[in-house]
Structure 1
Amino acid sequence: MTQRSYPFVNGSTTDAEFSAMFKQVFPSAVISGLTVSADSSGLNVKVAAGTAYVRGHFYSSNAQETLAVDAGSAQARIDTVVLRLEYGSVNDVRLVVKKGTPAASPAAPTLTQTDSGIYEFPLANIAVAASAVTIAPGNLTDRRTYWPAVFKALLALVAADIPNLDTSKITSGVLALARIPDLDAAKIVSGAFHVDRIPNHDTSKLTSGQLPVARGGTSAGDAPTARANLGLENGAVTKIQRGTVAVSGAPNGQVDVTLTGFTSTPLVLVQATSIWYFAFPTLITSTGFRIQTRATGEAGGGSSTNVQWLAVGV
Structure 2
Amino acid sequence: MTEETYKKLWRLKLHQLDLETYGFPRNHPNNPKRAVLGISQRPQPQQEPHESDSSDSEPEIIMDRCSRICTRCRILFKVDKEGRPKRQLCRYHPYHVPYKKKFRCCGRKKHAEEGPCKTARQHVHNQLAPEALENFKPTRDNLIKAKRIYALKCSHVYTEKGIEVASVSLVDAFCSVVYETKVRPESNILDYDTEISGLRRHDLANIQKTLQDVIEDLNALIGPKTILVGFRLQRDLTSLRMIHENIVEVTVLYPHKWAPRRTHSLYFLRRNFLSLENIRAPLKSREEAITAMKLALHRM
Same fold (TM over 0.5): no
Larger radius of gyration between Structure 1 and Structure 2: 1
**TM-score, normalised to structure 1's length?**
0.20
Q: Which has the higher strand share?
A: 1
**TM-score, normalised to structure 2's length?**
0.21
Q: Which has the higher helix share?
A: 2
